[in-house]
Amino acid sequence: MVADTENDDFMLLNQQYQLTSTSESGQPLGMCQITPGEIGVTVGSEIQFIKVNNNRLMTDRQFQLQDSKNSGLHGFSISHHQGNLFVASRTALYKYSLSGELVSKLH
C-alpha cells in the first residue's frame, strides 16, 4: 500500500507494482501495519483502519483522535506496537488502544 498525499488517497500495488485498488479517504499523513491484512492510517484528526479484501482496499473502522485539552488534534505519524497505537501530533505523543481509547499522553 502506498499513500498519495497529493491526491488524498491510498493505492494498493501488486507484486509487479501495478495499481490494483485505490481508496479516497482523505489526505493520509502516516501509516503503519497492524496485521498482515490491515493498515492504520492517520487522516486529519482520525485514525482509519484499512483492510485488503480480494485485492481491494476497504475502510474497516475509524476513530477520532482525542485529547481532553485539544479537540482539534491532528495525527502526523503512527506506529503499532504490542496491541497499542502510538500517534504523534505536532506537540505530543499519544498512546491509544486499537479500539480508539486514549490510554495516555506520553510527551
In a domain, 76, yes or no: yes
Longest dimension (CA), the chain: 46
In a domain, 86, yes or no: yes
What's the predicted TM-score (pTM) here? Answer: 0.81
Residue 55 has what DSSP assignment? Answer: T
In a domain, 14, yes or no: no
In a domain, 4, yes or no: no
pLDDT in tens, 47-95: 999 998 888 888 889 998 886 455 566 778 899 999 999 999 888 899 9
Cα separation, 62 vs 60, in Å, equals 7
Domain count for the chain? 1
pLDDT in tens, 10-57: 788 888 988 888 877 777 888 999 999 899 999 888 899 999 888 888
- CA-nearest of 37, 92, 36 to 60 is 37
Residue whose C-alpha cell is 504523534: 88
Domain that holds residue 53: 29-105
